[in-house]
Amino acid sequence: MPEATSLPSHQVCEQARASRDLRFDGLFFTAVTSTRIYCRPVCPAPTPKAKNVVYYPNAAAAEAAGFRPCLRCRPELSPGDGAWRQGDAAVARAIKLINEGLLSEAPVSVLAERVNLGERQLRRLFVERLGATPSDVHGTRRLLFAKQLLTETDLSITDIAMAAGFGSLRRFNTTFKDAYRMAPRELRKRPAPSRGEALVLRLGYRPPYDFATMLRFLHGRALPGVEVVDDTCYRRVVAPASQDAAPGWLRVSAWPNEAALKLEVHGIAPMQLQSVVQRVRRMFDLDADPRAIASALSVDRRLRPLVQRRPGLRLPSGWDGFEIAVRAIIGQQVSVAAARTVASRVARMFGTPVAMGDLEHLFPTPETLADADLTNVGLTKARAATIRTVARALLDGTVDFAPERTLDTFVERWTALPGIGPWTAHYIALRALSHPDAFPAEDLVLQKTLPVDGTRLTARALREHAEAWRPWRAYAVLHLWNAAA
């Protein structure tokens, strides 16, 4: 699929800015030439004159042009631009790698190599499509994350520098002051409210967002002792950054009266924070653009009423790729409840014990299950062997969850393993990668639910019908699964 600029038309930007439309939050930013400040389209400040307004597709482009983030609407709270989750375009895959922190540890040349492009070509694509270079996107990302931590938490400035990926406090202070014309400590003139033991962060999304349906999906698959899901929140234990550290925990709930989720974390090392936030954003699909998805799927007469019924449906991803892969193998041709029971036994017997009340153990690692005897958990010999095979394949790099993989490449690599068919590979892509176009066409529920006359489609017929849903086939899967529930 060809890459295209993500900036909406000038007329759409004008209308969204005038009405402060939350659906466009993060899809563009309003820069004011008279103040050199850039804002979210939902900024509550008085509307600037149109002649003083310039629109940018992302915060990095605005900052690269010399604008500073508004202290009132706080651009760091905007959701990401969901347009760049479409398909497997090189820019989309590169942004995923940047969001995972690649450029904190490697130069742009490595980023380009990971997405099979030359460095100059990648820079050109970024400037053409985003108005900013990969380094600009990376730099803005970590500065805005630091700004959020400075504003919302009482972490020390040193810890915030480490959390945002800066190698030293001095470098952080210099970079922040150069970009925002103020020292980090100046934001601390507004003291953060006391948060108790847990650190609290606000994670924005574009409405509508069906959080209740998300929790119901996760609740039906929750592994006792590893995670807890009820009608109001999701909780889980989080592995420590190092073997000699204690595990932490997180809790995700709705932020009252705002288009945001509330993330509470405890016992998480500062250097883990950005990764944890990124995982939660992916897991709860906070950067999706419901308008674009609904527009694409509503063309189908079967999907149109489903989309209208649940306009805020999102992809419920998982916390850990290996955990999802094990659960997918266990769930082959069995009910969700039966798969959950067996997966719970695996977690209880092989996971690392922790002492956090009803959070009792971490899910086992590939190292633990690579040679594990799984005969006593209720698995067939074939599926036990497949789990061990997957664990070994992850350890030796035969398969992975690398964000630069295209969907086709990911499926091809995984289905080359014995015991992994197309359904399992696409299910893993949907729930471990949150890939918007993953499509397990072999799924019996999908084959029976799409027709309305009681017939059942073949996987081939279903796949052909779903071509019109690209690049959002995974959302169609969720709508059909919910319709069948």
Structure confidence by residue, pLDDT tens digits, 416-459:
999 999 999 999 999 999 999 999 999 999 999 999 998 999 99
Instruction: State the CATH number of the domain containing residue 272.
Output: 3.30.310.20
Q: What pLDDT is attached to residue 198?
A: 86
Tokens of 132: 């900013």
Of 210, 289, 320, 443, which is the active-site residue?
443
Judge if 429 and 335 occupy the same domain: yes
Judge if 177 and 132 occupy the same domain: yes
Is residue 27 scored above 50 in pLDDT? yes
Structure confidence by residue, pLDDT tens digits, 106-130:
999 999 999 999 999 999 999 998 9
User: Could you give the CA distance from residue 389 to residue 419 in angstroms, rounded to a whole number?
Assistant: 9
Judge if 55 and 91 occupy the same domain: no
Q: Is 280 domain-assigned?
A: yes
Q: Which of these, 272, 239, 309, lies nearest to 101 by C-alpha position? A: 272
Q: What pLDDT is attached to residue 190?
A: 57
Judge if 72 and 88 occupy the same domain: no
Of 13, 39, 43, 70, which is the active-site residue?
39
User: Tokens 């925990």 map to which residue?
Assistant: 249
Strand arrangement of the beta sheet that strand 260-266 belongs to? 199-204, 260-266, 248-254, 233-238, 227-229
Helix/strand/coil for 289? coil
Q: Is 61 domain-assigned?
A: yes
Judge if 103 and 160 occupy the same domain: yes
**What residues are paired with 37 via a beta bridge?**
32, 68
Question: Mean pLDDT over all residues of the chain?
Answer: 93
Instruction: State the CATH number of the domain containing residue 177.
Output: 1.10.10.60
Amino acid at 402: A
Computed on alpha carbons and rounded to an integer, the radius of gyration of the chain in Å comes to 23
Q: Is 344 domain-assigned?
A: yes
CA 438 to chain CA centroid, Å, is 15
Q: What pLDDT is attached to residue 2?
A: 36
Helix/strand/coil for 145? helix
Structure confidence by residue, pLDDT tens digits, 209-244:
999 999 999 999 999 999 999 999 999 999 998 888
- Residue that terminates a domain, selected from 130, 162, 187: 187
Q: Is 39 considered catalytic here?
A: yes
Instruction: State the CATH number of the domain containing residue 24.
Output: 3.40.10.10
Q: Is 307 domain-assigned?
A: no
Judge if 37 and 129 occupy the same domain: no
Q: How many folded domains does the chain comprise?
A: 4
Domain carrying residue 226: 199-287
Structure confidence by residue, pLDDT tens digits, 176-192:
999 999 999 998 765 55
Q: Which of these, 260, 224, 266, lies nearest to 247 by C-alpha position? A: 266
Q: Which residues contact 26 (CB under 8 A, 6 or more apart)?
A: 40, 78, 79, 80, 81, 204, 206, 287
Judge if 180 and 205 occupy the same domain: no
Backbone angles phi, psi at 300, to 5 degrees: -80, 125
Backbone angles phi, psi at 123, to 5 degrees: -60, -45
Region 162-186: mean pLDDT is 94
**What residues are paired with 237 via a beta bridge?**
249
What's the DSSP call for residue 207? S
Q: What pLDDT is attached to residue 189?
A: 65
User: Could you give the CA distance from residue 247 to residue 379 in angstroms, rounded to a whole number?
Assistant: 29
* Cα distance between the two ends of the chain: 33
Q: What percent of the chain has pLDDT over 90?
A: 89
- For the question of whether the overall pTM of this predicted structure is more than 0.75, the answer is yes
Q: Is 444 domain-assigned?
A: no
Q: What pLDDT is attached to residue 242?
A: 82
Backbone angles phi, psi at 319, to 5 degrees: -70, -40
Structure confidence by residue, pLDDT tens digits, 310-369:
999 999 999 999 999 999 999 998 899 999 999 999 999 999 999 899 999 999 999 999
Q: Where are the beta strands (DSSP E) in 384-430?
A: none
CB 428 within 8 A of CB 435: no
